[in-house]
Every structure is written in structure tokens, then in C-alpha cells.
């Protein structure tokens, strides 16, 4: 089976043309994403024919085999893959993608026939506790929700960007935060019935945020597109940032645009790494 590897700001994915293939995608994700014995990636993305009127369908499987709704970095890599491979033929630069979070529009940044990056219309953030989901009864938005972990309380802002996020703001450097200890405990906390992506973020100024993410079903990643959206939205709700923010993650910088209502727009790179053959 042919596969290709891509990354968006260090968040890496294996891309496969699934048209006509009958595979256990969850089992394949577990094997091919394994970093010592497989190709190594944060997730597996499968390109399939759209079941609606989009140009193409995207299914995303985390490295633990679980299926995720969406990935802001992943959908940019997916767009580069399907367009350059001729699997999708958008009109102009707007690619419509079926995802588990609904239809996503990706505006391609091209140079000749090469896709360098994209701006993704991520849709509106969701704040209702049942839509995130988070097991509390509160008037949205859910800000400063205390999450108890090993005798400590972490105040989180809860947002869905098609998948669930809990954002914890700190004043100190995020590099020193014990994310690998706290992250899995927040991910599996009883407050989050569908598990949750956990972000720790520091607001540097009104246009810049530094962050790290523990991704549900993956672990710590170099970047998280939906996480960057959730961070920016949470900071914007508090009045800490302006309408355009750069979120600096370990793997690179993502640019977010949100004016306090309506849809969130995410801009970032997409890069090809290599192609290969996976034994059937």
C-alpha cells in the first residue's frame, strides 16, 4: 500500500488514498504511526470519495487507533496531498472537505502546482457544555472550570472546535509545565466523557501566545491546529488578545483570526516529508 508522510508545523500525518481499499483503518493507524516499529506519525488520514457534495472526504485516526473528528494541521496536509496527487479537483483555490466535524473549506496557498499552506475555515467555536462535551451545568462559555488532578486544581476554558478542548493559561513559561504528567490525567478526567485535548498557554502580548498541547489519543504533539483555535478563542473571550493572533507551538507558528463571533480562520504551512510502501 502506497503512503505519504506530511507535517503541518511539526504535527505529522500518514496520508493514504483509501478509494477502493477495504482496511481496518484503526489497526493500520496503530501500526503505521508507531514511531519505533512503524513509519511514525501523530495520526493516519485516509482520502475517500465525498458522501455529500464536497470535493473529497477525510477520515482521521489518532496514533492510538481512535477516530478523531478534525485536525486543523491535518486538513492542511490532506489538502496538499489530495490536490497534488490529483485526487481532488477544486474550483480555484477553495477545497471543500467532508470531515467528522462537518464540511470544511480550505483555501489553498499555491506556487505553481505546489501547495505551500492554506487557510482553513474552522467554523464557529462551540461553547455549550453538551456540545463540547463537558459534564457540568453552566451558562456558556465555560471559563475557569476547576479540574482536580493529583491534589492540584487547573482552571480550564472549555471549547469545541469540532473536537473537545480544555485550555489552561499560565503566566510562567510553558516549556516548564509538566504536560506529560498532567495531560493524560486531564484527557481522561471524568468531566470529559469523550476525553479532551488539553492545552497549556501563555499570553505574551495582544498578538502572540506560546502554547503546548496534549492531544487526545496521541500525546504531546509539536502543534495542534484545533488547539490553537481553542486557545485564541479562549483568550479573545477574556479580552486578552486582538482579532489576529500568532500561536507559537514547539513545531512552528500558526496564525488565527476571530473577531469574537462567527467562524475561526486558521493559517499555516503544509510540508511533504516522504513517500513509501507499507506491507499488506
Query: What values do phi and psi take at 73, rounded to 5?
Result: -75, -40
Among 194, 195, 189, 246, smallest CA distance to 223 is for 246
What pLDDT score was predicted for residue 118? 97
| 170 band by pLDDT with thresholds 50, 70 and 90 | very high
> pLDDT, tens digit, for every residue of 26-35?
999 999 999 9
pLDDT at 2 over 90: yes
* CA distance linking residue 163 with residue 227, whole number of Å: 9
Q: Give the Å distances, CA to CA, from 62 to 68, 152, 185.
A: 7, 29, 18
The owner of cell 499555491 is 110
The band of 113, judged by pLDDT with boundaries at 50, 70 and 90, is: confident
The answer to whether 145 touches 158, Cβ cutoff 8 Å, is yes
Q: What is the mean pLDDT of residues 235-254?
A: 98
pLDDT over 90 at 182, yes or no: yes
* All domains in the chain, ordered by first residue: 2-121+268-277 (3.10.310.10), 129-261 (3.10.310.10)
Report residue 280's pLDDT band, with 50, 70 and 90 as the boundaries. confident
Determine the average pLDDT of the residues in 249-266.
Answer: 97
Mean local confidence (pLDDT), 104-117:
94
Each residue of 115-143: pLDDT tens digit?
A: 999 999 999 999 999 999 999 999 999 99
For 64-107, the pLDDT digits (tens) are 999 999 999 999 999 999 999 999 989 899 999 999 999 999 99
How far apart are alpha carbons 175 and 164 in whole angstroms? 23
Task: Work out the percent of the chain whose per-residue pLDDT is above 70.
Answer: 100
For residue 98, give Cα distances in angstroms to 46, 136, 157, 193: 12, 30, 28, 25
Angstrom distances, CA of residue 178 to CA of 30, 100, 217, 225, 265: 26, 31, 18, 21, 30
**Is the pLDDT assigned to residue 185 strictly greater than 90?**
yes
Amino acid at each position: 500500500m502506497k503512503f505519504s508522510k506530511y507535517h503541518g508545523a511539526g504535527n505529522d500525518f500518514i496520508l493514504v488514498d483509501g478509494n477502493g481499499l477495504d482496511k481496518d483503518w484503526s489497526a493500520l493507524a496503530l501500526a503505521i504511526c508507531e514511531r519505533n516499529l512503524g513509519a511514525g506519525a501523530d495520526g493516519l488520514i485516509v482520502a475517500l470519495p465525498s458522501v455529500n457534495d464536497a470535493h473529497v472526504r477525510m477520515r482521521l485516526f489518532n496514533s492510538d487507533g481512535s477516530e478523531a473528528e478534525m485536525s486543523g494541521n491535518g486538513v492542511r496536509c490532506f489538502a496538499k496531498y489530495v490536490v497534488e496527487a490529483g485526487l481532488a479537483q477544486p474550483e480555484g483555490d477553495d477545497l471543500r472537505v467532508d470531515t467528522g466535524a462537518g464540511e470544511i473549506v480550505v483555501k489553498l496557498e499555491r506556487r505553481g502546482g505546489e501547495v505551500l499552506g492554506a487557510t482553513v475555515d474552522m467554523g464557529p467555536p462551540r461553547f455549550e457544555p453538551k456540545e463540547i462535551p463537558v459534564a457540568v451545568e453552566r451558562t456558556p462559555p465555560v471559563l475557569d472550570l476547576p479540574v482536580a488532578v493529583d491534589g492540584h486544581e487547573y482552571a480550564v476554558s472549555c471549547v469545541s472546535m469540532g473536537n473537545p478542548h480544555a485550555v489552561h493559561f499560565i503566566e510562567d513559561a510553558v516549556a516548564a509545565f509538566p504536560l506529560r504528567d498532567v495531560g493524560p490525567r486531564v484527557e481522561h478526567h471524568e468531566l470529559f466523557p469523550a476525553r479532551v485535548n488539553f492545552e497549556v498557554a501563555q499570553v505574551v502580548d495582544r498578538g502572540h501566545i506560546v502554547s503546548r498541547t496534549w492531544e487526545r489519543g496521541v500525546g504531546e504533539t509539536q502543534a495542534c491546529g484545533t488547539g490553537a483555535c481553542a486557545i485564541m478563542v479562549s483568550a479573545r473571550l477574556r479580552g486578552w488578545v486582538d482579532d489576529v493572533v500568532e500561536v507559537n507551538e514547539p513545531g512552528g507558528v500558526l496564525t488565527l483570526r476571530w473577531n469574537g463571533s462567527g467562524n475561526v480562520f486558521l493559517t499555516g504551512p503544509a510540508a511533504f516529508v516522504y513517500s513509501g510502501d507499507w506491507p499488506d
